[in-house]
A and B are shown apart, each in its own frame.
Chain A
Amino acid sequence: MMRRWFGRAIAIATVLAIQAQPAFAYLEFGVTAGGNQVKLKWPQAAVRYLVTNAGVANVSVADFQAAIGRAFGSWEAVPTASITYQFGGLTAAIPGRDDGLTTLGFQNRPDLDRVLAATSFVVDAATGALVESDIFFNSAFPWSVAPGGEANRFDLESIALHEIGHLSGLGHSALGETELRAGGGRLVTAAEAVMFPIAYAVGSIAGRTLKADDIAGISDLYPTGDATSVYGSLSGRVTKDGAPIFGAHVIAFDPVTQTVIGSFTLNAQGQFSIGAIPPGPRILRVEPLDDAEIDSFFDGSRTVDINFRVAFSDRIVIVPRGGDSGEVAINVVAK
């Protein structure tokens, strides 16, 4: 997917740039607390969670606990992120209840058709810190915890990995592609982020492994002591006919590792910023979010510009170690 996207751009990008400027945002959740915007993140070193003491067909409580334990472990294993999680025991509490407990478990919600799992949370108004977050897995769907996955069942560990990303404060990533199937239906054909909002089809275990985009996100939210010196950031601005646009999807492609990290233009000035990315050369692609449910990324009140063609940076951008690329300006044209 990435080589196809960036093949032409590699040929035309020629100029390098190094400047320093602090990153101001990533695709993360935040809160308004006391009139200020602060990142939505856990204040304590270890996030304590409980597991509902109820399994479903094919997945016992022990299976469930083990699968989500592996998913928590994947996030903890990111070397440049400091967040940790702590299993606090089994509980009769149900996820989605406003009880002050962080609970993960199954619920039968046939009314939430096509929702495999969802995360909800509660925020401390005074600090903006995340205090309670629940994840429910919809037992209306068939689940699997088999090491290699199972036909016709959704992989619990994959879905848990995605939802725990949310629980930790990460929003959705748009790094994925879908295909409309002949005769009806839609499926994911590729995803370069666990945080892509649409699940792989039943039987797939492709979502068990964090990608570069996920690692950058969690490292930016919970950097270890040396993360800021190990990583750099990339920032810039997207305009259309000279006017800034909101909601443009910006993808940074690393031609050496063939990995991608994405973000959006997130303010009225059309600015974007991607933090906690490994230093090195990047080629930027800007594309409209014209294939997605905008509600998965932005609230219904936002006007997201989807009327423009794909554009690339006209040069290779260098992300310096411990610094910022300096503003990269990209102009797009209407379709």
Chain B
Amino acid sequence: MRVICVLNLMLLAAATSAHATTIVPADLGELSRDAVAIARGRVADVQSQWTEDRGTVETIVTLEVEDYLKGSLGAMVRFRVPGGELGRYRTIVVGAPDFAVDQHVVVFLGAHGPTVPHIVGFNQGVFRVVRAADDSWVVSPPPAVAGAAAVRVVRGDPARRPVPLADFEQQVRTLAGAAR
């Protein structure tokens, strides 16, 4: 029985959630290949629930899909992320992405058997879509896209800017198509 109340976990003086995992890195091509569906949409609902074995808590995110860049799982798609808040308790699986209603995202979804889909690559399979200063939609930060030659990723590179959503989608469609 859980006896300890879990509160918001955040970085000191920063009011931000804690995240902590060790991941195997992926570039956009790998994510596009591995995903069974890639959806852009608005987060319509976020609900935490006990896992089937009632051992811990998971969160079911409902996405109101505006477009699929790969595959199709319906106009409203639900996917799960580990951890969540249930009653007075919050279970944190650090590294799991968190979502809030009305956020705009592109999610790369995977599935193992007849289950609720999950995000491919944990937090790597979530791209945040935000308004730029000129009110256009952009994906930020820009994705890591491998090309024909090895490229060292350099922080602060003037070329590394938020990507217009349309360009990002075109890129993903191309990569997903090439992976078929």
Contact = CB atoms under 8 A, between A and B. Distances in A.
A187 B7 contact: no
B25 interface: yes
B12 A28 contact: yes
Contacts of B17: 298-299
Contact of B150 (A94, A180, A300, A308): A180
A287 B156 CA distance: 6
Contacts of B76: none
Interface of B is mostly: loop
Contact of A37 (B10, B22, B92, B115): B10
A295 B19 contact: yes
Q: Which of B2, B12, B56, B157 gathers most chain A CB within 10 Å?
A: B12
Interface residues of B, number: 79
Given A37-B12, A301-B100, A162 B22 contact: yes
Given A188-B25, A197-B22, A298 B4 contact: no
A184 B100 contact: no
Contact of A182 (B26, B92, B150): B150
A100 B13 contact: no
Nearest to B43: A300
B11 to A, nearest CB: 6
Interface stretch (A12-20, A144-152, A170-178): A170-178
A117 to B, nearest CB: 5
A95 to B, nearest CB: 10
A311 B91 CA distance: 39
A2 to B, nearest CB: 14
Interface string B103-136: 1000000101001001011111010101000000
Contacts of B87: none
A117 B21 contact: yes
- Enumerate the 4 nearest inter-chain pairs by beta-carbon distance, A residue then B residue, closest first: A299-B17, A125-B5, A310-B156, A30-B12
Interface of B: 2-27, 29-30, 34, 55-57, 82-83, 89, 91-100, 103, 110, 112, 115, 118, 120-124, 126, 128, 130, 140-142, 144-158, 160-162
Given A29-B10, A31-B7, A300-B97, 5 more contacts: A120-B94, A188-B25, A197-B23, A299-B19, A306-B141
